[in-house]
Amino acid sequence: MHFVYERKKYKRYNPKLLIPRTDDHIKLLSKTALEYERLKWAQTRLWLGGEEGYQVEDPGKPVSPEETPFYVLEAERQGLIINTVRPIPQVQIQEGVTGILLSLQPHGFYFSRELLGESYIQAEKDERFKDIVLPAGIHKLGCMLAVTDQLTFEQRIKENPIDSNYTTSVETEGDLYMALFNEPELPGIHSLYQRAHSLLLSTADPDDPLLQHLFLMTSLPNFK
160 & 205 share domain: yes
Residue 1 counted as domain residue: no
Residues 210, 216: Cα–Cα separation, whole Å: 13
87 upstream amide cis, omega within 30 of 0 = yes
pLDDT digits (tens, 9 = 90+) for 87-119: 999 999 999 999 999 999 999 999 987 888 899
Residue at a domain's end among 76, 95, 125:
125
**Spatial CA neighbour of 44 closest among 17, 80, 8, 87:** 80
Residue 125: HSE in the Cβ half-sphere, 13 Å Cα cutoff: 6
**DSSP of 45-114:** HHHHHHHHHH-SS-TTSPPPTTTHHHHHHHHHHTTSEE---SSPP-----SHHHHHHHHHGGGT-EE-HH
147 & 180 share domain: yes
The band of 84, judged by pLDDT with boundaries at 50, 70 and 90, is confident
Alpha-carbon Rg for the chain in angstroms: 21
Longest dimension (CA), the chain: 62
109 & 141 share domain: no
pLDDT of residue 17: 67
Report which DSSP code applies to 206: T
**CA angle centred on 74, ends 71 and 79, rounded to 5°:** 120
Residue at a domain's end among 125, 141, 156:
125
The band of 210, judged by pLDDT with boundaries at 50, 70 and 90, is very high
The band of 85, judged by pLDDT with boundaries at 50, 70 and 90, is confident
Residue 175 counted as domain residue: yes
Residue at a domain's end among 125, 158, 186:
125
138 & 92 share domain: no
Strand partners, 110: 82
88 & 150 share domain: no
Residue 18 counted as domain residue: no
The total number of structural domains that make up the chain = 2
Residue 61 counted as domain residue: yes
99 & 175 share domain: no
156 & 114 share domain: no
pLDDT at 187 over 60: yes
Residue 145 counted as domain residue: yes
Q: Are 112 and 178 in contact (CB under 8 A)?
A: no
pLDDT at 74 over 60: yes
By residue range, what is the domain housing residue 54? Answer: 38-125
SS3 call for 2:
coil
The band of 216, judged by pLDDT with boundaries at 50, 70 and 90, is very high
135 & 209 share domain: yes
149 & 208 share domain: yes
| Arithmetic mean of pLDDT, 45-61 | 95
Which pTM was predicted?
A: 0.84
121 & 134 share domain: no
